[in-house]
Amino acid sequence: MNKKKYGKAAVLNVLIASQLLLAACSSDSEKASSESQKYDPSSKLEVSWMAMLHTPSAPTDVVLDKIEEATNADIQFNWVPAASQEERMTAALASGELTDIVSLNLLSNSSIRQSLKSGMFWEVEKYLDDYDNLKEITEETRAAASIEGKLYGVPFQKDIARSGLLFRKDWLDNLGLKPPATLDEVYEVARAFTEDDPDGNGKDDTVGFGDRNELKYGSFKTLSSYFGTPNGWAVDENGKFTAEFETQAYKDTMEYSRKLYKNGYLDKDFAVTPKNDQMDKFAQGRTGIFTGLVGLTGLMNLAEGIQNEMEIIPVNKIKGPDGEYHIWSEDSGIGGLLAFPKSEVKTEAELKRVLQFVNDLMDKEVFMLMTGGIEGKHYEFDENGAYKILDNDAWQQDVQPFASSRPSDQKHQLKEADPNKQLMKEQIKENAEFAVFDPTFPLESPTASERGTELEKLIIDATIKYIMGEMDEKQFDEEVEKWKKSGGDSMRTEYEEAYKKAEK
């Protein structure tokens, strides 16, 4: 970790240490109460789970039955489509209509943070070391997933930086192009994929960049990190904070995206396109660039039977104007929390049994069920020990939806038989070397907790309008001023004060 990419490493260590100290503080009476309640880990568990669905449809019961058998549980999933998770989760938290386990993936959402801080969910830090898998969650991960030193669920453990660009390699080959290495080369590929008939069908029916109706997981956030934009906020040596959209690099990204859009190299419908439709367009051969390295497998599966000639190459290193690599880190590798509402999990004994269930999800057997399905039916290992899906249709229907609910993507590593899929995994690991972290992630701001999501939407809307040519730079700056007066400056002050305290 160098200072240029991560800020003050020493300060980050202090932040982590201070959070751990707070999280460890509990009274002797609480500890005695904890030890007095017993649970039977062998008892059959009936558990409900509000989980995110990143696929068009929920899974069949084929693999679910095996997961239930391996975990000694009857599982009732309440699937929430990822495209509407923010609205659905906010409504569920407000109404109190929750399940035994709730997947809270958006920890920066104001409503979610407020609910966690309100005492609605169990604190779990003191229990984790009682379980063989959960105890392996590092102190750094626990601290990063905590809010004001309290861990309100089991962290989803993800890779530090999973973003990058996916290109149609067969289209690159058809046009005699190499995978791009600079932003100018990315732009040229987007142009060629739009104007030069990359699929050779003689029709004007392709677009370079496919995209969707969000900045963070669409193309903008990744492109902005290539330009050198801070990840959320930047903090200087004097502890002063600057929001990412107050920087020239952010504006340069807006101008780059605006040019792509104006010339038709960025999907004209991106502002109203959800993730699944973005994936479908790519799989159908209508677009040739996709943002997010982890999307490779899903896109290849969707394309089967439609674009069998499709080849995808992942690219993680795009040089910015400074000649260096930068990629944003998603919440420091924390994909959210598996949280347990006290309204549903009413006693400590019940909590311990549910934690045993989450612990069991991390066993190799269950990990493989949620990743590959049933060996011999959905996947196999070849003679080199590499993992290969046997039946894509069955895998998509029976297995794929479970993957995003695995508590850890890191505990068990699989070698992919497909060289491009293996390259994608290696690039995601390599991203950690030049990841850019959000310095506010371990800090607390009351204004951000109360109104951060609302304020963020103001900037998102302004950015999209600028890209689409519906707003000029002066109007964008006016929206930034509105953000400042509506609470942005208060957030800045609160983050600076929290940062200063952590330094001491």
Hey, what domains does the chain have and what are their CATH numbers?
3-160+332-411 (3.40.190.10), 165-328 (3.40.190.10), 446-503 (no CATH)
What pLDDT is stored for residue 14 in this prediction? 41
Give me 32's structure tokens.
């005695």
More confident residue, 472 or 43: 472
What pLDDT is stored for residue 504 in this prediction? 64
Q: Is the pLDDT of residue 293 over 90?
A: yes
How many residues can be counted in the chain? 504
Q: pLDDT > 70: what percent of the chain?
A: 92
CA distance 440 to 488: 13
pLDDT digits (tens, 9 = 90+) for 476-493: 999 999 999 999 999 999
- Between strands 334-339 and 101-104, the pairing is antiparallel
Residue 392 backbone phi and psi in degrees, to 5: -65, -40
Residue tagged 């859009």 (tokens): 261
CA distance 487 to 445: 11
Q: If we measure between CA atoms, which residue out of 179, 300, 288, 165 comes closest to residue 220?
A: 165
Is 189 within 8 Å of 167 (Cβ atoms)? yes
Note the pTM of the prediction, 2 decimals. Answer: 0.76
Q: Which of 251-265, 288-302, 403-417 has the highest mean pLDDT?
A: 251-265
Read off the pLDDT of each residue in 60-76 and give the average, rounded to a whole number. 97
